[in-house]
Amino acid sequence: MSLSPAVQSAAADSAADSAAVSEAALEEGALVVAWSDGRRFSFHPLWLRERAPDGQTLDGRNGQRTLEAAFLPLDLAVTGARLAGDDRVEVTFSDGATALFEGARLRRALAPRDQVDLLGDRELWDASLGGFPRYRLGDLKQGRPLLGLLDDLARLGCVLIEEVPPEKNGILEFMGLIGNIKLTNWGGVEDVKVDADAFDLTLTNRGLEPHVDNPYRFSTIGYVVLHCLENSFEGGESTIVDGFAVAERLRREDPAAFEVLATTPVYFRYEDGTTVLDNLRSLIGVDAEGRVERVAWSNRTEFVDVRPVAELTRYYAARRRFAELLYAEEMTVTFKLQPGQAFILDNYRVLHGRTPFELAGGGNRHMRQGYFDRDMVSSRQKVLRRDLDPD
């Protein structure tokens, strides 16, 4: 049986971490390091000097640089190098500084850094996934279960939490385990229930199409937490879609449409009596390597600016095809949140919606919703990884 790319990568990382430094030498002012597995690399002297692990270069508590690296001599050179035992390399520089570098840290620096958000391999999914990982709130008070939840969030973009007290501020205990909630013009944790004087369509009983929350903000919502207090009306099921899976499917099936949606700026706007929020971004966001890093889909708040007829014709056709995939049953996981359940989802990746529900016949549908910024969630995961697995 062949190993998955994630398992192969983990195995390669483990082998690299176990390789010891076997040689340290000079080459044209640079440091050449060789490891026991045959890997060799030439390190630039400035790269080494500006991260020398000593109190004159880096603060010992937070790792922040204490010298002004931009003014180090551009002709700085490594003038000496020797193996110092315990898999360390002692390096001397032409400015007189000396530093000890751990071989394992130098080796890890060679790994590509293509994640600065939640860490972990993504697993794209469709309706065949069936459901999402579930965690009990009480278990999450321990570090490893909470790390497991965050790792699953990185992998799938959505996780369910159970046994959350179905009361007004019951979700705050879970959110507090991760960090500070994001405050918006609506406050912190807000009600999602039918309001006769609704200022937002979310507060009606209509069905909500798959969407991400608040793409009209400059700092778009990172993660959405939705907590169920009551859900006894007929209907009102949650619908969840992996926007990255849909975007990649669009790229495979219609590359031209993908390109249009990744390059056409779209205007998103929200306005009420006290607030005006607007932002400009494409429906599909990609990074410098062309990887999908964000989907911004919100039918209620998206209005493309006027453009030449031919451009808009291409845009509307591409948007139509993207919508057909986003709304497709084979791409949608549907379930009904029960009182005491909640979910957290990645608002850059996962779209959520709901089916309509009937107000007649008695019942109620009352949710509470809060948000996180992305760095709050990723920081919690990285701190747990650092503290629980220091190696």
Using the 8-state DSSP alphabet, how is residue 127 labeled? G
Compute the distance between CA of residue 16 and CA of residue 107 in angstroms, rounded to an integer.
Answer: 7
Q: Name the burial class of residue 239, with classes exposed (0-12), middle (13-18) and buried (19+) by CB atoms within 10 angstroms of its CB.
A: buried
Mean pLDDT value across the chain: 90
Per-residue pLDDT of 170-203, as tens digits, reads 999 999 999 999 999 888 998 887 654 555 556 6
Mean pLDDT calculated for residue range 48-76: 92
Q: Is the pLDDT of residue 363 over 70?
A: yes
The span from the CA of 168 to the CA of 228, in Å, is 10
Separation of alpha carbons 104 and 245, rounded Å:
36
The pLDDT value given to residue 236: 79
Q: Which residue has the tokens 């971490």?
A: 17
Average of per-residue pLDDT across 12-30: 79
User: Does 10 score more than 60 pLDDT?
Assistant: no
pLDDT at 391: 63
Q: How far is CA 176 from CA 136, 179, 372, 387, in A?
A: 15, 5, 11, 18
- Sorting pLDDT into bands at 50, 70 and 90, what band is 300? confident
Q: Are 346 and 373 in contact (CB under 8 A)?
A: no
The percent of residues in the chain predicted with pLDDT above 90, rounded, is 75
Q: Is the pTM of this model over 0.75?
A: yes
- Decide if 233 contacts 363 (C-beta within 8 A): yes
From the CB of residue 106, how many other CB atoms can be counted at a distance below 10 Å? 20
The per-residue pLDDT for 200 is 59
Residue 96 is predicted with a pLDDT of: 94
Answer whether residue 8 shows pLDDT above 70: no
Helix (H), strand (E) counts: the chain:
9, 21
Nearest to 160 by CA among 376, 364, 384, 345: 345
